[in-house]
Amino acid sequence: MTAFSVPHFSHVRSASGTATGSSSRGRCAGSFKVRRILREKRACPKCGDGLVVAPVGDKVIERGLPGAGMLAQVLVDKYQDHLPLNRQAGRYERLGYEIPRSTLSDWVHAATDLLEPLWKVNREAALVADVLQADGTHLKVLDREHPNNVKRGSLWCFVGDGKYVHFEYAPNESREGPLSLLRAREGPLVVDADTKLDSLFTAEDAKAYEVGCWMHGRRRFVEALKGGELMAAYPLDLIRRMYAVEELAKGLGPDEVHALRQLHTRPVMDVLWKWMAEKGPELRPSYPLAQAIGYAAKNRVALTRFLDDGRLPIDNGASERAIRAVAVGRKNYLFAGSDAGGKRAAIAYSMLGSCALVGVNPWAYLKDVFEKLARGWPKGKIFDLLPADWAEDHPEHLLPKKDLPTPTDDAEEEPEPTPAEAD
């Protein structure tokens, strides 16, 4: 193999006297900044006593070393970039700074404690939203009283009005976790036919109504096609056309979206229901395609509700995308160290998920919020620190917008993780 190098021409001038050049990108090793705080001392020279020392400046953690930027980095690394604390400690060691994993864990505790009041008002904003989406996933938690020393808790995700992402931890997988928060719900609730939530729609005093998820409906037809049932290609093409209308609807108001769906989506859906009604009886119940048709037929009312209200999404994608952070993260840290650790994860995922939803740089957001909380932010203005509201005052920290992905064949949750580390 012949070795070669790319020449650098930045100092070569052409015959015309103009400069030509090239550029390259490199990475400098991360660094720490130590802030030295000088506190003035004063004493009365006449009486000889009464020494007065200037107070310590605002610190994010009382008697703690990390600044707001450092705490923000640890949370972003762990809960958004899925880097467990032992790996973070190893990285800092390579940079010449020994920060034990236990110290990083203490910082995570302190940081999420600071964010808890904000997390609570974020919950309020999400749950009273006009359009609420909900989904849940499991989280393994260390439990010494359990026969296997590990139990399965759950993290429930709620997305309100496309602005607020709230995660709630439950120490088990029972239906009481989400029901305790949603019993008073009125109006639309976008879900994926989870039986744990059925009573919210079927109880005599129910005021919520179910809106279905076409990502889940589509997924079953994809499985049938992968299994060799070629007829599944036809309903998949119809569903693709429905999503094409949603692409056209981006940026439109609810009334315009409703009109667009009536004009383009409803006729396509009518054809889809007619096809399923004709083909369903011809298939054996055990066939994946028959099961896909059965799922759609069983949830027909919920799956068609988005046609009648331009505010409603076609699927539960927002909550599924938020939950993906949990699915990827637990492949790395495997389980929470306790129920308290599960709650801390819920707090961090809530604030970072909300940042992702509104397109805010999470590090810049957390750094600024930690600094403001350390200075004693007024409780009456706590809503101003929610990511959606904060973004309006800090447009310089908005990230470039990316088009949301349309449903794909690999939209399922991440597979079961392999053992790694508990934080």
pLDDT in tens, 10-57: 333 444 555 566 666 665 656 667 667 676 777 777 776 677 776 666
Could you tell me which of 277, 275, 244 has the C-alpha nearest to residue 261? 244
Could you tell me which of 75, 69, 74 has the C-alpha nearest to residue 89? 74
Query: Average pLDDT in the 302-308 region?
Result: 98
Query: Average pLDDT in the 216-229 region?
Result: 97
Could you tell me which of 216, 218, 409, 209 has the C-alpha nearest to residue 312? 209
Residue 321 has pLDDT above 50, yes or no: yes
Concatenated DSSP letters of 330-363: HHHH-EESSHHHHHHHHHHHHHHHHHHHHTB-HH
Our CA angle for 421, 122, 396, nearest 5°, is 90
Which of 6-15, 42-51, 205-214, 397-406 ranks highest by mean pLDDT? Answer: 205-214
pLDDT in tens, 150-188: 999 999 999 999 999 999 999 999 999 999 999 999 999
pTM for the structure as a whole? 0.86
Q: How far apart are CA 85 and CA 78, in angstroms?
A: 7
- Number of helices and strands in the chain (H, E): 15, 8
**pLDDT reported for residue 64:** 80
* Domain limits, the chain: 63-211+316-423, 214-314
**pLDDT reported for residue 28:** 61
294 secondary structure, DSSP code: H
Q: How far is CA 382 from CA 79, 122, 364, in A?
A: 23, 10, 18
Kindly calculate the radius of gyration of the chain based on its CA atoms and give it in whole angstroms: 27
Q: How far apart are CA 179 and CA 127, in angstroms?
A: 12
Concatenated DSSP letters of 54-80: PPPPP-SSTT----HHHHHHHHHHHHT
Q: Are 365 and 386 in contact (CB under 8 A)?
A: no
Query: Average pLDDT in the 395-415 region?
Result: 66
**pLDDT reported for residue 406:** 64
pLDDT in tens, 332-359: 988 899 999 999 999 999 999 999 999 9
Contacts of 417 (CB under 8 A, 6+ apart): 330, 331, 332, 334
Our CA angle for 306, 308, 310, nearest 5°, is 70
**pLDDT reported for residue 55:** 64
